[in-house]
A and B are shown apart, each in its own frame.
Chain A
Amino acid sequence: MRRSSELRALNIPIADELAKRSGSRPRVRPAECEPYAVAGVVPTLVFSPRTVAEASKIVTALAAEGASIAIRGAGTKSYRPPHPHALDVVLESSRCAGISNYTPADLTMTVAAGTPLHVVQETLRPYGQFFPVDPPFAAQTTIGGTLSAGSAGALRQRYGAPRDNVLGMRVCLGDGAIAFTGARVVKSVAGYDIPKLFVGASGTLGFIGEVTLKVAPLPRCEAGVAATFVRCEEACEAARRIAASPLLPMATTLHDGHTRRHIRALGSSSQPWTLLVRCGGSRSAVLRQQEGVIASMRACGAATIETLDADRLHFCWQDVVEAAGGAAYPADRTLVLAIGSLPTQVADVCASITALLPAAEITAHPATGIVYAHVPWPGAGDPSAPHERRLAERAARSLLEQFSAQGHHVKVLSAPVELGTLVAPLSQSAPVALMRRVKAALDPNGTFDPGRFVAGI
């Protein structure tokens, strides 16, 4: 494989040659490429294809040069470890944007992958619909980035994850082959459900060009309930009772005192835990949901309970998804962990995190068993307390090992440069051999972000 340094030395002639072959001129000057850095590593070339066909030409030409390619949307998740040592090419999707088909009564929308998620939501809203995901960085992220990261928000409780709401895709594989997979209708079992493979693949299997989404009607009414608790387990118990009832609220989030601070509409509280429930449906259903939610919270020992009207709920939710979801934390100075556990284990997971990393700020989705920890980390250039940093790093590593040994699904979503090699250990029964073969089948030359997926794939 050609080294980045070689590409860099040759970048002008190669760029000319590639431009001729692919019909697309890359950025080549370091200053132009710097905004596309991945975890601080600046790529040698940056391509911005407009279509999947253009991406295919670029990939084909680059694969012949033995170059490696990192795919980028809005760049909100570029500190995902392991960080790259060097970076040949970034294929960024901002020009591959736009909505090509939307028929409200079919509940489907076909959209180019570089389209920002908020553009999709704004297009759907006048028709009383939305794409029912609320991933971290919802205000910045692209559709392709959301899907590639597989990031589900708390709306998974009612609507499922992004994987459950993707119907079809047009992709460019590692050898430049373009394929359509899935379907453009809400139900199909024709052929393998390969779109699910690309969701959560972090761009290591191919470039997603176009996606058909399954959209949902917005509930006619919405309202919320927020309660505070002294003990985390009480809040989790309330969340489980609500989730096991026929109330079917849209989403439930749990916040410690740190992450509550980001939710401006809630104000401060002297209680350590806040449980927020988003209700939605017909007017009478929302009232019933609120009643039932309040009853469960009370039965589980809530210290305070307040109801939220739709406006206040939406103001809260914006902060839950954006600030607490990532925007409040500088990526180069924050360690972000996501732990997939069972609803009954959420309180223990939170306690383990706080015990080992007391600075961690916690948001959880207690109905689906997901816990996010944002751990502020001093910058690499910060001379203060190197000893403490080493201790914290050791604590983070042992936390990951402990969670893996307990059977939780652990991911390091983002890490500062000095923790660039921090990855969670995989369980014994993980299908690593199968994953390697799937990678080799779809990206035979290892073109897309080699070594940056799980198990060094």
Chain B
Amino acid sequence: MFDGLVQRLAAIVGPDHVTTAPGDLSNYQYDGSADSALPQVVVMPGSAEEVTAIVSACTAAGCPYVARGAGTGLSGGAVAEAGGAVIAMARLNRILEIDCANRLAIVEPGVVNAHISDAVRAHGLQFVPDPSSQAVCTIGGNLAENSGGLHCLAYGVTSHHVLGCEIVTPDGELVWLGGRAYDAPGYDLLGVFIGSEGTLGIATKVVVKLMPLQEDRRTLLAAFPTVEQASGAVSAIIASGIIPAALEMMDQLSTKAVEAYVNAGFPTDAGAVVIVELEGLRGTLEELVQDVQRICIAHGSREVRQARDEAERERIWLGRKSAFGAMGRLGSSYYVQDGVIPRTKLPEVVSEVAAIAERYGLLIANVFHAGDGNLHPLIVFDERTPGDYERTVAAGADILRACVRHGGSISGEHGIGIEKRDCMTLQFKAADLDLMARLRAAFNPRGLCNPGKLFPTSRRCGESARTVARGALAPEMVDAAGPAF
């Protein structure tokens, strides 16, 4: 298959940077999702020109290819489902330029997200998108998935923080979308490229915006008797004109699991807790803190606690970030769902999720990026129990149906990839999907660039599961990397 391609790839990148050894290939079969597939070859380019040559060689051979960053994606975007080549971008990991005066940096796609902020912190700047996997995930993957993060409520997601990128098109052309400055002439191809899950080309350089670091922040933890009351407080905070840097919610099942796991100091007798983080200039946050406290109390909060120091703040966030790992306390495996609803519909959708849990006889814990209506129901199951996983996937699909019925979306940040492609028809009609297909064909006419992703197959939403979900993560893995929730 793909006669002579491996030799040609070796000629492009050097023999040390191509592998077909089964042991090596198996390291590239997974991302953070339940899906896996073995590529036939893994190639590691060291320059944009090499990426161009690789894409041209694959195209000439009719070989499908998929670019891969750190493999932390949660929807199968970097899984080489059709076989072919994985183009691993890890060697393209240089920060090429930092321009503080113009608040931008130019980086290669394999640069780790957190390394950008690390490099500019001394200048009082930061790269804002902060997916929870930021210690390992790469900027190329962030671009592909349009990653968010806990602080995207106030500052926006990846597409708001990228000025331009150099890409290799599936035709093997090296072009710039956007640039260093704003308002490049022509269509906003950068806008559609970001979040296209690697199906429209491969980024080789990225111009990111840098934002000033904030002077001060306050972190509040409010406990509510019920999820409904907590939701009411969340909507009231937003309606009052306060956009916190982060606004998170967890239900009782989540807080109990977390407390048993890391002891974050969450009240386990509360129906829900809300975490509010406010950022701004020193000496100006007290007014907002008092407003948030007043709103929470008016909505039935029994206790609003403000973190007194950085250690207490970190403990609160550790609790929130450990929610996924803590599910291991409740069952052998869990499945993270990702859906979005208008935030005012939270109480209705939460009770629908509870009804779904009951109908399928499954345990579902809820953590929310409540500020933007992004739900992460965690469905706990036992993969050794026959039929448990199938019921889990079916319950997850029902949750997505509820999100769409309330005017929402089937993914807020994890992407469609393989995992949700058959659920696209819940949200989009044939003509809507046709528009997307036209766009893909304009960029990727032969369909070799990350095939099979994002578009529905002939299966129904909720029955596309091919493999068993990965088991619960060990605590040390959560701390080191953390799933990108």
Contacts and interface: CB of A to CB of B under 8 A. Distances in A.
Interface stretch (B211-219, B250-258, B296-304): B211-219
A341 interface: yes
Interface of B: 99-103, 124-125, 145-146, 148, 152, 156-157, 159-160, 166, 169, 171, 173-177, 179-189, 191-192, 194-196, 200, 212-215, 235-236, 238-243, 280-284, 286-288, 340-344, 369, 372-374, 407-416, 420, 424, 427-429, 431-436, 438-443, 445, 454
A173 interface: yes
Contact of B182 (A190, A243, A340, A430): A340
B182 A192 contact: no
Interface residues of A, number: 94
Contacts of A184: 342, 407-408
A268 interface: no
Contacts of B166: 429
Interface in A171-226: 171, 173, 177-181, 183-194, 196-197, 199-201, 205, 216-220
Contact of B435 (A181, A189, A199, A437): A181
B212 A187 contact: no
A106 B343 contact: yes
A329 interface: no
B5 to A, nearest CB: 25
B387 to A, nearest CB: 28
23 contacts: A106-B342, A106-B373, A178-B431, A181-B436, A187-B152, A187-B157, A187-B373, A188-B411, A189-B416, A191-B433, A191-B436, A199-B188, A217-B240, A288-B283, A407-B180, A409-B182, A410-B185, A430-B176, A431-B173, A431-B175, A431-B186, A438-B189, A441-B439
B213 A409 contact: no
A180 B432 contact: yes
Contacts of A431: 169, 173, 175-177, 186, 189
Interface string A214-247: 0011111000000000000000000010011111
Interface of A: 103-108, 127-129, 150, 152, 156, 160-161, 163-164, 171, 173, 177-181, 183-194, 196-197, 199-201, 205, 216-220, 240, 243-248, 281-285, 288-289, 338, 340-344, 368-370, 407-411, 424, 426-427, 429-435, 437-442, 453-455, 457
B288 A282 contact: yes
A188 B343 contact: no
Nearest to A103: B344
A284 B169 CA distance: 49
Q: Which of B169, B213, B435 has the most CB of A within 10 A?
A: B435
B192 A188 contact: no
B435 A426 contact: no
B175 A430 contact: yes
Given A129-B241, A191-B416, A338-B183, 15 more contacts: A179-B429, A188-B408, A189-B416, A190-B427, A191-B454, A194-B436, A244-B125, A246-B213, A282-B287, A285-B281, A344-B102, A408-B181, A431-B176, A434-B175, A453-B186
Contacts of B125: 244
B409 A188 contact: yes
Given A188-B409, A283-B287, A288-B284, A409 B441 contact: no
Nearest to B403: A185
B431 to A, nearest CB: 5
A193 B124 contact: no
B281 A247 contact: yes
A368 B443 contact: no
Contact of B192 (A177, A194, A289, A343): A194
Contacts of A411: 183, 185
A198 B463 CA distance: 35
Contacts of A340: 181-184
A181 B432 contact: yes
B413 A187 contact: yes
A190 B235 contact: no
A245 B427 contact: no
B284 A177 contact: no
Nearest to B235: A105
A437 B441 CA distance: 9
Given A193-B194, A220-B241, A442 B438 contact: yes
Nearest to B441: A441
Interface centre among B174, B212, B235, B241 (most CB of A within 10 A): B241
B152 to A, nearest CB: 7
Q: Which A-B residue pairs are the 4 nearest by beta carbons?
A: A196-B191, A217-B241, A188-B409, A340-B183
A440 to B, nearest CB: 7
A199 B191 CA distance: 10
Given A128-B241, A181-B435, A190 B101 contact: no
Nearest to A200: B188
Contacts of A454: 185-186
Nearest to B213: A246
B310 to A, nearest CB: 18
Contacts of B429: 179-180
B156 A160 contact: yes
B78 to A, nearest CB: 15
Contacts of B280: 281-282, 285
Contacts of A370: 182-183
B212 A438 contact: no
A127 B241 CA distance: 9
Nearest to B455: A191
Nearest to B241: A217
Contacts of B191: 163, 193, 196-197, 199
A426 B185 contact: yes
A194 B439 contact: yes
B373 A179 contact: no
B159 to A, nearest CB: 7
Given A187-B413, A189-B195, A103 B431 contact: no
Q: Give the interface centre of B183, B184, B241, B431 by most chain A CB atoms within 10 Å.
A: B183
Nearest to A292: B281
A107 B234 CA distance: 13
A162 to B, nearest CB: 10
Contacts of A152: 182-183
B187 A185 contact: no
A248 B185 CA distance: 28
A50 B296 CA distance: 44
B428 A191 contact: yes
B122 to A, nearest CB: 13
A409 B412 CA distance: 32
B401 to A, nearest CB: 14
A344 B235 CA distance: 41
Given A106-B342, A370-B182, A430-B175, A200 B187 contact: yes
Nearest to A457: B186
Contacts of A160: 156, 160
Contacts of B435: 171, 173, 177, 179, 181, 194, 442
B169 A434 contact: yes
A184 B212 CA distance: 30
B143 to A, nearest CB: 12
Contacts of B173: 431, 433
Contact of A192 (B156, B192, B374, B408): B192
Contact of A185 (B188, B195, B408, B428): B408
Given A218-B241, A409-B184, A435-B187, A183 B101 contact: no
A233 to B, nearest CB: 12
B185 A409 contact: yes
Given A200-B188, A437-B442, A246 B212 contact: yes
B32 to A, nearest CB: 15
Given A192-B436, A201-B187, A187 B372 contact: yes
A193 B435 CA distance: 11
Contact of B100 (A171, A244, A285): A244
Contacts of A407: 179-181
B188 A189 contact: no
Given A103-B342, A179-B434, A343 B102 contact: yes
B337 to A, nearest CB: 13
B283 A435 contact: no
